[in-house]
Structure 1
Amino acid sequence: METNIQEERAQLKTTLHERGMRMTPQRQLVLDALLELEHATPEQVCQHVQRSTPTVNITTVYRTLELLESLGVVRHTHLGHGAPNYSVHEHKHVHLVCHRCDRVLEVPCEVMDDLRGTLRARFGFALDASHLALSGLCENCQKEIP
């Protein structure tokens, strides 16, 4: 796994350089946190970063996430109420969020292929299923309902 993180780190650094940006220590810390956590709120990223660098504050994390998202390096998804969850752009799947127990399942984007085709055919709309969270009830919570 460490090799994969190293490869992703190098690729992200290249992406920044191609867009005329440099990899600052703060950007590296935020990206490393996202690579390790896979999904995280800005607050979770900040807590992770502060373990090694306590001087990095939440404002720096928010600004860094906004910049990285504007460059297409990271993206956010709303998994319900509260802060968005961020991940590196290569991390693509649909989130199924149980609104009763807050469990989040990750499923391949291909599960949305039929809907993607219907939306394209009927409305000319191109669905980006990699940036999607669907709300409902998980299997366990459905069993608990009489």
Structure 2
Amino acid sequence: MERSNHLLDDQFQMFETACRRAGLRLTHQRLEVYRELARAEDHPSAETLHQRLRRSIPTLSLDTVYRTLATLACHRLINKVDTVESQARFEATQHQHHHLICSKCKQITDFEWHSIDALPLPAQANEWGQVESKNVVVYGLCAHCQ
């Protein structure tokens, strides 16, 4: 399901405002990396984003994509999806959600689990230090791979 242009426009506007607040320049490459990531529904890796963006920006280097993703993740403007694979995956979605990851095809699917979100953390987690976010990653086989 492709996101509506109106929602994407709002998301880009919020991104630009957040970059300005964080003191980040709105470079062409940074905007295009974010735009492609916001359109994506497959939680792409840096390599996948680079391949997609090379069509419109032939001079874009893979290193620039990596550095851009690292900067945006550091400022919490995008999310790095935690997986057991060595290849990081990314998303622009900022609302609270969790991930289902297929162990075979590596597809990542978002899902909401409000009852888990509402639970307080156990005492051990609170004693550990300051928790900034919590999420659940569920591994298994998607319906297509079963």
TM-score of the superposed pair, with normalisation by structure 2: 0.79
Give yes or no for the alignment of 1:26 onto 2:36. Answer: no
Aligned to 1:15: 18
State how far apart, in whole Å, the 2-side matches of 1:22 and 1:109 are. 36
Match of 1:76 in 2: 80
In structure 2, relative to structure 1, the CA distance for the partners of 1:102 and 1:40 (3 Å cut) is closer
For the pair 1:5 / 2:8, whether they are aligned, the reply is: yes
Alpha-carbon distance change, 13 to 121 in structure 1, aligned in 2, over 3 angstroms = same
Q: Tell me if 1:88 matches 2:89.
A: no
Answer yes or no: is 1:128 the counterpart of 2:129.
no
Q: Is the 2:37–2:90 contact (alpha carbons within 8 Å) kept by the matching residues of 1?
A: yes
Query: What is the Cα-based RMSD across aligned positions, in Å?
Result: 2.5
Consecutive unaligned residues of structure 1, counting only runs of 5 or more, are none
Larger deviation, residues 57-66 vs 46-55: 46-55
Which AA in structure 2 matches 1:123?
Q
Moved over 4 A (4+): 137-141
Q: Give the TM-score, by structure 1 length.
A: 0.79
The structure that has the greater radius of gyration is 1
The number of aligned residues is 138
Deviation at 1:102, TM superposition (A): 3.5
**1:104 partnered with 2:108:** yes
Distance in 2 (CA, whole Å) between partners of 1:111 and 1:47 is 38
Identity of aligned residues (%): 25
For the residues of structure 2 that align with 1:40 and 1:137, how far apart are their CA atoms?
Answer: 19
| Paired residue type of 1:3 | H
Q: For the structure 1 residues 78 and 95, does the alpha-carbon distance in structure 2 shift closer, same or farther, using more than 3 Å as the test? A: same
Choose between structure 1 and 2: higher helix proportion.
1
- Residues 12-51 of structure 1 show CA distances to partners (whole Å, capped at 9, x for unaligned) of 0010111112210010010011011142110111111111
